Amino acid sequence: MNPVLLKEDIYWVGAVDWDMRYFHGPVYSTHRGTTYNSFLIIDQKITLVDTVFAPFAGEMLERIRKIIDPSRIDYIVINHVETDHTGALPELMKLVPQAKIFCTARGKAGLLKHYYGEWDYEVVQTGMKLPLGRRTLSFIEAPMLHWPDSMFTYIPEEELLMPNDAFGQHLASSFRFDDEVDNELVMAEAARYYANILYPLSKMVLKKLDEVSALNIPISMIAPSHGVIWRDNPGQIIEAYRRWASGEWLPKAVVVYETMWGSTAAMARAVVEGLGAEKVAATLVKASIRDLNNIFTELLEARLLVVGSPTVNRSYLSVLSPFLDELTGLKPVNRLGAAFGSYGWSKGAVKNIEAKLEAAGLTLAGEGLEQLWVPDAGELESCYEWGRALARTVKE
Ligand code: FEO
């Protein structure tokens, strides 16, 4: 349990959670675990920036003890109240009851309502500076990135930004820095993280990026609260956030479907062929056997989402409900949608899927496609042509 040096006298003292498989309850799958990053600054005022999830309090304290006695900590900065970053705070406060806690006004309210601690709080706002000795902490409030209480902490003398959840990845690793792990893997996990947590907050992400850019502060290292620290090329993740938040897209499609006796599956395959014929790369996803979190990640690039289901009880198959419900919450930016499916004695699936797509902010790319019972060769040809027509809309 050793600390890791970031900059002179600044250490990572967090924890690696190799076992975390779901985050935010059973909503967001985290196949690669995660880390809880906490940073210790040794200066005239010894300062800890963020803590870790409660079960890892001992691990954090052990790393701190390799550097100093934790009771010597003067200041604790809480960038964000969520329990994965503050769960260890009560344990820590038993050792340092005199320490002053710096957080936003909403952060203080949140901490009081989580832990009910009689602690010494100081509320900070954007632009406030906290001298530590050789270094200064500068605070930037970041409401809704991703909670109302969130803020970033910046150390100008080190060009180091500690933005808590922003720019993070759920990625457990033996390594702490971006240049020590595979870049494609880190970016894929960063994208997955953005799509499943920050997507609905994209307008605020863009605003914050502009605000930070206008501050004209040099940033040579970004140390988020999850995953690896960006020291090799921090600009890479900033640019990716700008791209994702602004809704840039590629001529790609995701076709998500579920089937009862194979008719909707046959339609889905024909639609994918039609998309491909017009050079729109499509991923075909059977909802019941795939990780739906990956679909949201694909939507960071894909312009079009096509959803298919047979009609059952006048609507779509319920296995699609978690995906469609989550979609309406995540609200992908600047995306097109379309619906299709087979039916028997009554329709309903397409209409209800279209309503969900529109509720999620997608623009319908064309009329939905419904076919009776089992599609024949001519009807499958219609699916193919429908896919081609959608592809042409994608590229318009
Ligand atoms: Fe919003 Fe990593 O917690």
Model pTM score: 0.94
226 CB under 6 A from ligand 1?
A: yes
Of all atoms in ligand 1, which is nearest to the CA of residue 164? 2
Residue nearest to ligand 1 atom 1, measured at CA: 82
Does 320 score more than 90 pLDDT? yes
Rounded CA separation 158/390 (Å): 50
165 CB under 6 A from ligand 1?
A: yes
85 CB under 6 A from ligand 1?
A: yes
Distance 29 CA to ligand 1 centre (A): 14
Q: What is the mean pLDDT of the chain?
A: 97
335 CB under 6 A from ligand 1?
A: no
Residue ranges covered by each domain of the chain: 4-246, 253-395
Q: Fold for domain 253-395?
A: Rossmann fold (3.40.50)
225 CB under 6 A from ligand 1?
A: yes
Domain 4-246 has CATH 1.10.20.60: no
Distance 376 CA to ligand 1 centre (A): 50
Residue nearest to ligand 1 atom 3, measured at CA: 82
Q: What is the pLDDT of residue 255?
A: 98
HSE (side-chain half, CA atoms, 13 Å) at 218: 5
Distance 81 CA to ligand 1 centre (A): 8
DSSP 229: B
Q: What is the pLDDT of residue 26?
A: 80
Q: What is the pLDDT of residue 82?
A: 97
43 CB under 6 A from ligand 1?
A: no
34-36 and 15-17: which strand pairing? antiparallel
Across the beta sheet with 221-224, what order do the strands follow?
129-131, 136-141, 151-155, 160-164, 221-224
149 CB under 6 A from ligand 1?
A: no
Rounded CA separation 3/6 (Å): 9
Q: What is the pLDDT of residue 1?
A: 87
108 CB under 6 A from ligand 1?
A: no
Confidence of residue 27 (pLDDT cuts 50, 70, 90): confident
250-257 and 160-164: which strand pairing? unpaired
**Which residues on neighbouring strands pair with residue 153, listed in sequence order?**
139, 162
pLDDT more than 90, % of the chain? 96
Distance 24 CA to ligand 1 centre (A): 9
82 CB under 6 A from ligand 1?
A: yes
Instruction: Return the closest-CA partner of residue 83 out of 17, 153, 12.
Output: 17
Q: What is the pLDDT of residue 260?
A: 97
pLDDT tens profile 231-251 = 999 999 999 999 999 999 999
| Residues with active-site annotation | 24, 80, 82, 84, 146, 165, 193, 226
**Average pLDDT of the segment spanning 102-123:** 97
Q: What is the pLDDT of residue 25?
A: 83
Q: H helices within 248-395, ranges in order? A: 263-277, 292-298, 321-330, 349-359, 377-395
Distance 104 CA to ligand 1 centre (A): 16
Q: What is the pLDDT of residue 298?
A: 95
Distance 383 CA to ligand 1 centre (A): 43
Read off the tokens for 230.
């960006």
CB 92 within 8 A of CB 115: no
Question: Does the N-terminal peptide bond of residue 146 adopt cis geometry, omega within 30 degrees of 0?
Answer: yes
39-41 and 47-49: which strand pairing? antiparallel
Confidence of residue 28 (pLDDT cuts 50, 70, 90): confident
Residue nearest to ligand 1 atom 2, measured at CA: 165
Q: What is the pLDDT of residue 304?
A: 98
Tell the burial category of 40 from Cβ atoms under 10 Å away from its Cβ (0-12, 13-18, 19+): buried
Of all atoms in ligand 1, which is nearest to the CA of residue 197? 1
pLDDT tens profile 183-202 = 999 999 999 999 999 999 99
pLDDT tens profile 47-100 = 999 999 999 999 999 999 999 999 999 999 999 999 999 999 999 999 999 999
Residue 149, amino acid = D
